[in-house]
């Protein structure tokens, strides 16, 4: 494509990176926001920056928390400038951070190959090895940059290959002043409740059941607050209502796969469950729920290939009490992460969502009553009928009274409370919602990004 007037070749550059966050107070979205601020005037953004959460059931130490993709268009020289900015920033961070941070940067020019899209789909529920990702270094339009172990290229590709062509959500992120990192976040909780009530298309702002403000994270990272919602206008509106009681250095809006359940796509039979996969498994309850020390609830399900333990851990709180109502024979589908076997437990499905398909009838059995005095009879001994404890009448042929008990569970889906949700969990507030095809026009994206970048440039120290 030629841009009239300046005769420069306009090209596309797609940038993906991951594993640049750590416990020491950095975060991949923070880095992305800084980068966007720096390159914004030189290129056109073809989409909002994307924040992609990959399979959350991979051990934390071997995955990034959220991967970023930037889709840009510009003149070759400007795109080269973007590459330099990204590499300089990531390099600096890699030198500073501890050994569990293994940043990786992926540059793809022109089209994103279908092989990257396939890898991205798999990365949502499976474990991708570094070798699998490194194979892409042979593609002529792909450039890989690995820092230390460079594991971040897996997430970088995962983000680049995820077009968010189906359902998606937005997150507005605001960042703290560096001098406040590590201290408690100062926010007016009433304003968060007001924002929540005033913007029905945002969600997970407050967990009312557990009286918890959800938009402010707890850790040492630079994020002040994250507001998640269905539209850009709505997350911006909510942010305007929220009253931070400390200075905000930067803001950005990401288009994400958060809260879309994108990690639950694959159905597995029990024998095919492999540790760290996110799996959907249908089966019948064969061992009724019981609590183990620590407050975790365990039960077993079975399909035609085997039996597996399922666990609702203590942090899922009241969810456990509901699930505890399962009985042998109930038919359910469990959505969960496969936890590898340990010293004290077999391979276990860690339940993130549970669907009840059918419930076994449950009966109560009671002795019949005496015809003479209406007293409840007692057993007269095995096969000897009943005897009245009051008037001593004996009954040979009376039958036990069988009453069906109401089940506490219903034929529906059960979810843990918001406080126990993963980033990908589709919350109850989003049930029935789907943003497929609702992407913004390019012009509007530019306009909103410009406002956010202008804010960041003005307030960043
Ligand atoms: Zn009697």
| 156 and 20 housed in the same domain | yes
Cα(368) to ligand 1 centroid in Å equals: 11
Cα(186) to ligand 1 centroid in Å equals: 72
Cα(375) to ligand 1 centroid in Å equals: 6
Cα(405) to ligand 1 centroid in Å equals: 27
Q: Which pLDDT band, with edges at 50, 70 and 90, does 456 fall under?
A: very high
pLDDT score at 403: 95
| 150 and 274 housed in the same domain | no
Cα(384) to ligand 1 centroid in Å equals: 17
Closest CA to 156 of 30, 263, 278, 52: 52
Q: Which pLDDT band, with edges at 50, 70 and 90, does 210 fall under?
A: confident
Cα(374) to ligand 1 centroid in Å equals: 6
Helix or strand or coil: residue 79?
helix
Cα(449) to ligand 1 centroid in Å equals: 84
| 20 and 157 housed in the same domain | yes
Helix or strand or coil: residue 85?
helix
Cα(401) to ligand 1 centroid in Å equals: 17
Cα(377) to ligand 1 centroid in Å equals: 8
Cα(361) to ligand 1 centroid in Å equals: 32
Cα(387) to ligand 1 centroid in Å equals: 8
CB-proximal residues (5 Å) to ion ligand 1: 370, 372-373, 375, 388, 390-391, 393
Cα(395) to ligand 1 centroid in Å equals: 10
| 159 and 275 housed in the same domain | no
> What string of DSSP letters covers 124-166?
TTSPPPHHHHHGGGGSTTEEEEE-TT-THHHHHHHHHH----S
Cα(376) to ligand 1 centroid in Å equals: 8
Cα(319) to ligand 1 centroid in Å equals: 46
Domain boundary among 128, 147, 163: 163
Instruction: State the Cα–Cα distance between residues 238 and 247, nearest whole angstrom.
Output: 17
Lowest mean pLDDT among 1-10, 264-273, 357-366, 403-412: 1-10
Cα(398) to ligand 1 centroid in Å equals: 13
- The answer to whether position 125 is within a domain reads yes
The domain that contains 57 carries what CATH number?
3.30.70.2200
- The answer to whether position 434 is within a domain reads no
pLDDT score at 2: 47
Cα(210) to ligand 1 centroid in Å equals: 53
Pairing of strands 248-256, 50-52: parallel
pLDDT in tens, 140-198: 999 999 998 899 999 999 999 999 999 999 999 999 999 999 899 999 999 999 999 99
Cα(287) to ligand 1 centroid in Å equals: 40
pLDDT score at 388: 95
pLDDT score at 409: 97
On whether the CB atoms of residues 310 and 299 are closer than 8 A, the answer is yes
| 25 and 141 housed in the same domain | yes
Instruction: State the Cα–Cα distance between residues 280 and 335, nearest whole angstrom.
Output: 5
Average pLDDT, the chain: 93
Cα(382) to ligand 1 centroid in Å equals: 20
On whether the CB atoms of residues 394 and 296 are closer than 8 A, the answer is no
Domain boundary among 124, 142, 163: 163
| 274 and 139 housed in the same domain | no
Cα(388) to ligand 1 centroid in Å equals: 5
pLDDT in tens, 41-54: 999 999 999 999 99
pLDDT in tens, 64-92: 668 999 999 999 999 999 999 999 999 88
pLDDT score at 209: 86
Structural domain count of the chain: 2
Cα(373) to ligand 1 centroid in Å equals: 4
State the DSSP code for 227.
E
State the DSSP code for 338.
E
454 has pLDDT over 80 = yes
| 298 and 415 housed in the same domain | yes
State the DSSP code for 369.
B
- The answer to whether position 223 is within a domain reads no
Distance of CA 458 to the CA centre of its chain: 33
H or E element in which residue 233 lies? helix 232-241
Instruction: State the Cα–Cα distance between residues 188 and 244, nearest whole angstrom.
Output: 6
- The answer to whether position 453 is within a domain reads no
Cα(403) to ligand 1 centroid in Å equals: 22
Range ranked top by mean pLDDT from 204-218, 232-246, 415-429: 232-246
- The answer to whether position 347 is within a domain reads yes
| 156 and 280 housed in the same domain | no
Cα(364) to ligand 1 centroid in Å equals: 23
- The answer to whether position 321 is within a domain reads yes
Cα(389) to ligand 1 centroid in Å equals: 7
Domain boundary among 163, 194, 217: 163
- The answer to whether position 103 is within a domain reads yes
Cα(383) to ligand 1 centroid in Å equals: 19
| Sole residue written with tokens 């605001």 | 174
Across-strand partners of 175? 223, 250
Sign of CA dihedral 428, 432, 437, 438: negative
- The answer to whether position 237 is within a domain reads no
21 has pLDDT over 90 = no
ipTM of the complex, rounded to two decimals? 0.96
Domain interval for residue 331: 270-359+407-423
Helices (H) and strands (E) in the chain, counts: 9, 23
Cα(394) to ligand 1 centroid in Å equals: 9
23 has pLDDT over 70 = no
Cα(363) to ligand 1 centroid in Å equals: 26
Cα(386) to ligand 1 centroid in Å equals: 10
The domain that contains 328 carries what CATH number?
2.40.50.1010
Cα(402) to ligand 1 centroid in Å equals: 21
Cα(400) to ligand 1 centroid in Å equals: 16
On whether the CB atoms of residues 204 and 259 are closer than 8 A, the answer is yes
């Amino acid at each position: 494509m030629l841009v009239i007037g300046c005769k420069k070749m306009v090209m596309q550059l797609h940038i993906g990176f991951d594993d640049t966050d750590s416990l020491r107070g950095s975060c991949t979205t923070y880095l992305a926001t800084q980068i966007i601020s720096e390159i914004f005037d030189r290129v056109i953004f073809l989409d909002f920056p994307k924040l992609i959460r990959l399979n959350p059931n991979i051990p934390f130490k071997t995955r990034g928390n959220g991967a970023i993709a930037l889709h840009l268009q510009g003149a070759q020289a400007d795109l080269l400038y973007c590459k330099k900015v990204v590499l300089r920033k990531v390099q600096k961070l890699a030198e500073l951070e501890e050994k569990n941070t293994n940043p990786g940067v992926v540059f793809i020019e022109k089209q994103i190959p279908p092989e990257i899209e396939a890898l991205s789909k798999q990365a949502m529920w499976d474990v991708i090895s570094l070798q699998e990702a490194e194979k892409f270094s042979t593609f002529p339009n792909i450039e890989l940059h690995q820092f230390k172990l460079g594991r971040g290229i897996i997430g970088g590709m995962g983000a680049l290959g995820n077009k968010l062509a189906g359902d998606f959500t937005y997150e507005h992120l605001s960042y703290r002043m560096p001098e406040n990192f590590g201290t408690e976040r100062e926010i007016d909780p009433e304003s968060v409740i007001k924002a929540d009530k005033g913007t029905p298309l945002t969600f997970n702002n407050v967990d009312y059941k557990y009286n918890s403000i959800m938009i402010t994270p707890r850790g040492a990272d630079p994020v002040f607050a994250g507001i998640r919602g269905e539209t850009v206008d709505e997350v911006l509106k909510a942010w305007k209502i929220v009253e931070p009681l400390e200075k905000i250095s930067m803001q950005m809006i990401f288009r994400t796969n958060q809260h879309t359940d994108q990690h639950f796509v694959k159905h597995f039979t029990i024998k095919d469950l492999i540790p760290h996969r996110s799996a959907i498994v249908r089966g019948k309850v064969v061992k009724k729920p019981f609590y183990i020390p620590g407050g975790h609830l365990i039960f077993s399900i079975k399909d035609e290939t085997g039996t597996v333990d399922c666990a609702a851990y203590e942090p899922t709180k009241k969810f456990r009490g509901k699930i505890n109502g399962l009985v042998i024979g109930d038919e359910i589908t469990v959505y969960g992460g496969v936890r590898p076997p340990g010293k004290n437990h077999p391979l276990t499905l860690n339940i993130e969502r549970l669907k009840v398909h059918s419930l076994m009838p449950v009966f109560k059995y009671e002795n019949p009553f005496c015809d003479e005095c209406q007293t409840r009879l007692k057993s007269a001994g095995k096969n000897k009928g009943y005897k009245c404890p009051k008037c001593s009448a004996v009954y040979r042929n009376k039958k036990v009274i069988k009453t069906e008990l109401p089940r506490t569970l219903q034929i529906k889906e059960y979810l843990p409370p918001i406080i126990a949700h993963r980033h990908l969990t589709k919350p109850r507030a989003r049930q029935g919602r789907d943003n497929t095809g609702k992407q913004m026009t390019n012009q509007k994206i530019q306009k909103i990004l410009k406002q956010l970048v202008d804010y960041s440039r003005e307030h960043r120290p």
